Amino acid sequence: MELPFAENYKIKMVENIRRSTRAERERWIREARYNLFNLRSDQVFVDLLTDSGTGAMSDRQWSAMMLGDESYAGASSYYKLKEAISDITGFPYFLPTHQGRAAENVLFSTLIKAGQVVPGNAHFDTTKGHIEFRKATAIDCTIDEASDTTLDHPFKGNVDLNKLQHVFDTHPLEQIPFIIVTITCNTSGGQPVSLENMRQVRQLANRYGVRVIFDAARFAENAYFIKLREPGYADRSIREIVHEMFSLADAMTMSSKKDGIVNMGGFIGLREEELFRQASVYNIMFEGYITYGGMSGRDMNALAVGLYEATEFDYLETRISQVAYLGRKLHEAGIPVQYPFGGHAIFVDALKFLPLVPREQFVAQTLALELYVEGGVRGVEIGTIMADRDPVTRLNRYPSLELVRLAIPRRTYTNNHMDYVAASLINVWQRRNEIRTGYRIVNEAPILRHFTVELDRV
């Protein structure tokens, strides 16, 4: 008998979670103004809101925390992290920040001016927010295949080179500070970018003398997909692939809460000393001195260990197999999920799931709320609410996809929890034809509105 797959860890510490009743959940979600971010975590049974900072640290990470050096300047923890980053990514310079968006804030303050455009592959919401906050425009150049959730394509995160070329053909060069490539592409479904595509983007950027920046939150998951799917990489180690990926970028922003497997932290990796100097000024202003930048020494130590653990094949296989386990369960029940499955999450196609709910009534949000009431499972809307209004016309922007993302925290839940999640969603699926109306906005912020939006039933 062939031995089955099993997790590459055992559990040393547990945290109790509590089931609730449907009546409780109906009350709680009403009190939360139908915004899942407003729920208390103890009102949630299986929390798939995000895989950001919600993972379980290893015993080695916890022990590294005890060795944290909390010196203001020049802490040993800073040097440990610097060594780990240069070893894994190849970037000789780095700036710690308190999380990924802070890295964006610091680097974009250095690079982006009003009126510019930043092409890339489905910019993440905070990335787009930080571009638009500077009165610049994010231009999505993702391949069209990404918006067909049923199409089997190994690298749906890829940049469409014709679309990218078009940006260069229609804008003066001074207007394009850099290209940003998000690996894996969160917004289009946790889909990877191939090394071939990264190389082509690099070549195009070289032709115009423009920088390439990686939004690298899930770089290790991206490398795992390259190893499995890209011809010529099956025998290369994850770390070799990671090296090759980063060799094609001039700088990176990182949310360490993802593939750093820590609860808080981020950084910027840089190749140019001059850019490092310029960014250091903003880092000191916004984050903290350049050897801690919003992170405590113990957190930098845990991150240094986490970066090594995240780039081990066995870890990645365990993680991504669990995501696929949930994906297969839903797929087998006939539920429209994005295919192939992403690295960190399963994305449910809400337009196909709830075809009777009008687009103006926030279809994906409606589905996410139904799932919560059904089983106490918290996912998140990646759709019209998250897309924000157009900064110029102030009209709602309707993205090509309305998705409910079920993001799986790293090393946190068992496959029994995945079975529970699948059963909850299947129950909603079976009564989908009774769901005909959605929600309307009562209150919203001008930017990144999904975090605080207040809704009511239509």
Ligand X SMILES: *Cc1c(COP(=O)(O)O)cnc(C)c1O
Using CB under 6 A as the binding rule, the residues of this chain from 413 to 442 that contact ligand X are none
Measured from the CB atom, the residue of 110 and 366 that comes closer to ligand X is 110
β partners of residue 96: 267
Residue 42 annotated as catalytic: no
Half-sphere exposure at residue 304, Cβ-oriented, CA atoms within 13 angstroms? 24
Residue 124 annotated as catalytic: yes
| Min separation Cβ 104 and ligand X, Å | 7
Which of 123, 128, 156, 258 is catalytic? The answer is 258
| Min separation Cβ 19 and ligand X, Å | 29
**All residues at 6 or more sequence positions from 5 whose CB lies less than 8 Å from its CB, including other chains:** 317, 321
Which of 55, 68, 96, 100 contacts ligand X by CB under 6 A?
100
Using CB under 6 A as the binding rule, the residues of this chain from 254 to 283 that contact ligand X are 255, 257-258, 266
Check binding of 299 to ligand X (CB under 6 A). no
Residue closest to ligand X, measured at CB: 100
Q: What is the DSSP string of 162-206?
A: HHHHHHHHHS-GGG--EEEEESSBTTTTSB---HHHHHHHHHHHH
Residue 215 annotated as catalytic: yes
Q: Say how many residues make up the chain.
A: 458
Check binding of 99 to ligand X (CB under 6 A). yes
Measured from the CB atom, the residue of 100 and 376 that comes closer to ligand X is 100
Residue 450 annotated as catalytic: yes
* Per-residue tokens: 439: 């929600």
Q: Looking at this protein, which amino acid is placed at residue 315?
A: Y
Using CB under 6 A as the binding rule, the residues of this chain from 116 to 175 that contact ligand X are 124, 126-127
The β-bridge relationship of strands 46-47 and 345-349 is: unpaired
Residue 72 annotated as catalytic: yes
| Min separation Cβ 187 and ligand X, Å | 8
Estimate to the nearest angstrom the gap between the alpha carbon of 301 and the chain centroid: 23
286/329 Cα distance (integer angstroms) = 45
Q: Which residue has the tokens 């995160």?
A: 157
Which of 47, 51, 69, 125 is catalytic? The answer is 125
Q: Crossing angle of helices 76-89/238-246, nearest 10°? A: 90
Check binding of 52 to ligand X (CB under 6 A). yes
Residue 224 annotated as catalytic: no
Residue 258 annotated as catalytic: yes
Which of 47, 69, 215, 370 contacts ligand X by CB under 6 A?
215
Number of chain residues interacting with ligand X (CB under 6 A): 15
* Per-residue tokens: 282: 């903003």
In a 3-state reduction of DSSP, which class is residue 9?
Answer: coil
Contact 45, 22 (CB under 8 A): no
Measured from the CB atom, the residue of 124 and 353 that comes closer to ligand X is 124
Q: Which residues are catalytic?
A: 72, 124-125, 215, 217, 258, 450
What are the residues binding ligand X (CB under 6 A)? 52, 99-101, 124, 126-127, 182, 186, 215, 217, 255, 257-258, 266
